Chains A and B, each alone.
Chain A
Amino acid sequence: MSKSLLQAQHLVCGYGTQAQTPPLDLFIPGGEIVGILGPNGSGKSTLLKTLLGILPPVAGSYFWETSAAFGYMPQNGDIDPLIPFTLQDVVLMGERPHWWPGMSRATKSRLQEVLAWLEMQGLERCMYRELSGGQKQRVLLGRALMSWPNTLILDEPFSSLDYRFRLQMWEQLSRWRDENSGSLIWIDHEMNHVINHATYLILLGGKRIFSGPTQELLTEEVFTQAYEVPLHLHQENGLHQIHFL
């Protein structure tokens, strides 16, 4: 059995004592591309926030592998526009702030690496609030990458992107995974994208949660139960497609 990245036992997520998800048992092996799917209000973001330690679990427990280092990209990249942050300021936020003013040589070098990786060199002095939605998303990805993560956790990273930017960002994420052999966990509403790229699925339904390798979960029955509407699954040009009936 491969080493786990994340294990959860009877994990219930929610706010305060109010549960938003049914109990969840998880075993995610390391190095997987994990897609989290589910209808609106099923608790996808709440699950992610719980796993990141932003919210305490309502019940149950979870354990990350000790060497897991996260990079988190939130759903909404709206940093208060009143704060005159430059692109560089936002990326640097990804490194835990230190007390001395200025940047260390290592930080400078990492910043340049991340900007080069994002193909945003020369833009570091631009105001973050003046960037387009797609560029903001890329900057937030840069922020998540700043602290050398081996696990990227993304909450609807493509939500405000058109197809061109979506493709561009997915290519960047795939490149990151290939170069770092890291794990990727992301929430998405675009089912067809997730089922074709994720190697592991967490499918949150209102009453039940399904989780496991994508190939095992990829049945009309599972998706219909999770979304509580009839769904049709088929293959087209070698790609899986799900359609609402």
Chain B
Amino acid sequence: MKYRSTSIKKMVFIRFIFYSLVSMSLFLWGRAMEPQLYLEFFAATDLWWDPVVAGTLCGLVLALLGVYVLLNRIVFVSLALAQGAGLGIFVLFWVCHFLGYHLEHSVLPFLSGIFFAGLMSVIFSLLKKISGFTEESLIGLLYVLAAAGILLIGDRITQGLHDLNNLVYGNAVAVTTQDLKLLLLVLPPILLLHLFFSRQFLYTSSDPTFLTTLGMKIRPWRMLLYLMFTVAITAALKTLGALPTFALLLIPAFIGLSRARSTIESFTIAALLGIILPALGYYYSYLFSLPTGASLIFVSLFFLLALGLEYLWEKIFQVYSR
């Protein structure tokens, strides 16, 4: 049997250039379709600068974490954590509503979200240990309970429910400087953790039993990874909203991992798309008057098509063969 042994750097470079070209084509296509709005878009930098910076920062971190989410097959864990964070913010809002305290421009909702999501992880671990039920059933149970809690509290708070929804699920267009500061505070440490400990996270995801024989403790690494998910998802959810958060968590990592021939390639492509997708999403949202979240998914479809082309290219020409 003939094994492919293409240089890792070469593969990363080829795919990096390919997806950069796809991005450039999309950018130029938008300009060709709406030349007037294109000029307006670049004239109104103040309008989109903060949201685009927040989006690309969240996109970069979520895309990298998304690789671990897909490798650990825990997409639904991230959904349940987000729901837990949402419940935390709703509960805090409910309490403050009674006390007459206003939560605008406060970091308390973010902290409450993290606390509840963390609490949910602890309950999940305990239930898993004592009940013997499968992970899926427990995640489903916690997700349903958190969702019901949000609905019940939402039903009690009739006034300002719209503001509350914005507070919990964010609004990708209306990113405030406060939101941006919060992201700049919490996301860079996650990037650093990934940079220094990606090997530990990957190895504990692939063969924890073997690592135990080397004397490595698995649980602290798993807990750190889950903590990173909790903080990043809560911060992104509160800033961008649910749809962009999950799109950025899954789509770049999916494309990065598909056809990847090394872990460095997966992370590089996912990071590139994590940065590009929110920026192009905002750009298309402005040019074609699309809702921002849906616009991001719309742009993602072109990248998924590009991935399909990569498959076809490989099948037809076998370019990556030795």
Residues of A within 8 A of B (CB): 49, 52-54, 70, 72, 74, 79-80, 82-86, 89, 93-94, 96-101, 122-127, 130-132, 143, 147, 153
B residues near A125, Cβ cutoff 8 Å: 5-8, 262
Contact, CB under 8 Å: B207 / A86: no
Select the residue from B7, B198, B213, B260 with max chain A CB neighbours within 10 A.
B213
**A238: min CB distance to chain B, Å:** 37
- Given A74-B210, A97-B203, 12 more A-B residue pairs with CB atoms under 8 Å apart are A52-B213, A53-B213, A80-B71, A83-B206, A83-B263, A85-B263, A94-B214, A96-B214, A97-B199, A100-B196, A124-B5, A126-B4
**A52: min CB distance to chain B, Å:** 5
Interface of A is mostly: loop
A54 to B203, CA, bound (A): 16
Contact, CB under 8 Å: B213 / A70: yes
Query: Which residue from B197, B216, B257 sits with its C-beta under 8 Å from A99?
Result: B197
A97 to B70, CA, bound (A): 22
Contacting A at CB under 8 A, from B6-39, are 6-8
A residues near B209, Cβ cutoff 8 Å: 49, 54, 74
Contact, CB under 8 Å: A84 / B262: yes
Contact, CB under 8 Å: B206 / A79: yes
Counting residue pairs across A and B whose Cβ atoms lie within 8 Å, the total is 85
B residues near A54, Cβ cutoff 8 Å: 209, 212-213
Can you list the 3 inter-chain pairs with the closest CB atoms, starting with the nearest?
A72-B213, A97-B199, A84-B260
Interface of B is mostly: helix
Contact, CB under 8 Å: B71 / A82: yes
**A177: min CB distance to chain B, Å:** 19
Contact, CB under 8 Å: B263 / A132: no
Contact, CB under 8 Å: B261 / A127: yes
Q: CB-CB contacts of B162-201 with A at 8 A, as 1s and 0s?
A: 0000000000000000000000000000000001111110
Query: Which residue from A74, A101, A122 sits with its C-beta under 8 Å from B196?
Result: A101
> 29 A-B Cβ contacts within 8 A?
A52-B213, A53-B212, A53-B213, A53-B215, A70-B213, A74-B207, A79-B207, A80-B206, A82-B71, A83-B205, A83-B206, A83-B263, A84-B257, A84-B262, A84-B266, A85-B263, A86-B262, A93-B203, A93-B206, A99-B200, A123-B3, A125-B5, A125-B6, A125-B7, A125-B262, A126-B5, A127-B4, A132-B1, A153-B213
A74 to B209, CA, bound (A): 9
Contact, CB under 8 Å: B202 / A83: yes
A52 to B195, CA, bound (A): 31
Contact, CB under 8 Å: A89 / B263: yes
A77 to B4, CA, bound (A): 20
**A156: min CB distance to chain B, Å:** 15
Contact, CB under 8 Å: A83 / B7: no
A residues near B199, Cβ cutoff 8 Å: 97-98
Q: CB-CB contacts of B219-263 with A at 8 A, as 1s and 0s?
A: 000000000000000000000000000000000000001001111
Q: Residue of A at shortest CB range from B11?
A: A125
A residues near B197, Cβ cutoff 8 Å: 99
Contact, CB under 8 Å: A97 / B3: no
A residues near B196, Cβ cutoff 8 Å: 99-101
**B304: min CB distance to chain A, Å:** 18
Select the residue from A52, A84, A122 with max chain B CB neighbours within 10 A.
A84
A72 to B197, CA, bound (A): 23
A96 to B199, CA, bound (A): 10
